[in-house]
Structure 1
Amino acid sequence: MSSVMMDDLDRIMAVMEAAFDPAFGEAWTRRQVEDALALPNTHYLLAGTDGAPPAPGAPAVGFVLSRGVLDEEELLLIAVDPACRRHGVGARLIERFADAARGRGATRLFLEMRDGNPAESLYLRHGFHRIGRRKNYYRRGQGQPIDAITFGRDNQNN
């Protein structure tokens, strides 16, 4: 696992545990994160309380996982500790993600979320727009399936 330092993985997992509601089953396991980051062109960013990278050894309050293919990059996961939400951390992470992806040659960005996710307003404010829907994509225990909404954005000069 050379692409991620173990303390960074610990910081990702701490945010993951705090940020995702278990009712929706959206959190990834440590193994899923390790496997994703072992793949080529998969990237991560960590955020401190101001949305910038945290100091070495300091806890993270947010993260982004993404994967690039040719001139496109997909935001696989974004998470912010609930105690730090509504303070600009998520907005700063999206800006950093877009900048980093642009630096890797990505001219289009994509993401997918469950229908009704309150993060939709954040994505819309940052230039993403709805481009598709996958009916009944997310399954959650005995509950009703939930649609997935796909978003896209131009990343050339945003």
Structure 2
Amino acid sequence: MKNLDQIRLCEGGIIDLDAVMKVMDDSFDPVFGEAWTAPQCAGLMPMPGVWLSLAKAGTDLVGFALARIVSDEAELLLLAVKKQARGQGVGQLLLNRFSLVAGTRGAQQLHLEVRDGNPAINLYRRAGFAEVGRRRNYYNGKDGQVYDALTLARPLSI
């Protein structure tokens, strides 16, 4: 992985779906049932208010964030960073980008859902997100186990 200052953030689209799915496959452990399918992403991406932010090291996609805005509330739908790029600030860059784009689109409140126990919770808490709800047995893991989803939120300006 290259230095963080060599990471380029840009907006993506449906044309980037194959690369996004490679990052998703690398990032989400199938045991937990969190990853989205290509048809799920493809169906959502062209909808109004949806945007895709990409983190690239050269031409290599190392992370992405998929988000949407409805009225004055923005939701982070997915955030993924390749395993080789984790712990180097790429997730923070994408989370910052989410907040920035959400603000330019008129958001006042930010939301996301994350599997209870996902290490990314630490990133979100450091960014000011707090638990506002819980969906019991939301994720269905491949091993038959179910996992809760935590709903986190924060005002855009904190």
TM-score norm. by structure 2 comes to 0.88
Deviation at 1:140, TM superposition (A): 1.7
**Among 4, 29, 37, the residue aligned to 2:13:** 4
Deviation at 1:130, TM superposition (A): 0.6
Deviation per CA, 1:87-121: give whole Å up to 9, x if none.
00000100011000000000100000111111100
Q: Distance in 1 between matches of 2:37 and 2:104?
A: 29
**Among 17, 26, 32, the residue aligned to 2:34:** 26
Deviation per CA, 1:57-100: give whole Å up to 9, x if none.
x1210000011100001000000001000000000100011000
Give ranges in structure 1 of 5+ residues lacking alignment: 50-54
Amino acid at match of 2:13: V
| Alignment length (residue pairs) | 147
Q: Which residue of structure 2 lines up, in the alignment, with residue 52 of structure 1?
A: none
Q: Which residue of structure 2 lines up, in the alignment, with residue 99 of structure 1?
A: 100
Q: Distance in 2 between matches of 1:118 and 1:153?
A: 19
SS of residue paired to 2:36? coil
Range 9-18 or range 94-103, more displaced? 9-18
Identical pairs, percent: 48
Q: Which residue of structure 1 lines up, in the alignment, with residue 63 of structure 2?
A: 62
Q: Give every structure 1 segment of 4 or more consecutive aligned residues whose post-TM-superposition deviation is greater than 6 Å.
A: none
Q: Distance in 2 between matches of 1:125 and 1:91?
A: 10
SS of residue paired to 1:66? strand
Q: Which residue of structure 1 lines up, in the alignment, with residue 22 of structure 2?
A: 14
Query: Residues 85, 38 of structure 1: CA spacing in aligned structure 2 closer, same or farther, 3 A cutoff?
Result: same
Amino acid at match of 1:42: V
1:147 aligns with 2:148: yes
CA RMSD of superposed structures (Å): 1.4
Deviation at 1:5, TM superposition (A): 4.6
Range 99-108 or range 28-37, more displaced? 28-37
TM-score norm. by structure 1 comes to 0.88
Q: Which residue of structure 2 lines up, in the alignment, with residue 40 of structure 1?
A: 48
Deviation per CA, 1:120-150: give whole Å up to 9, x if none.
0000011111111111111223432111100
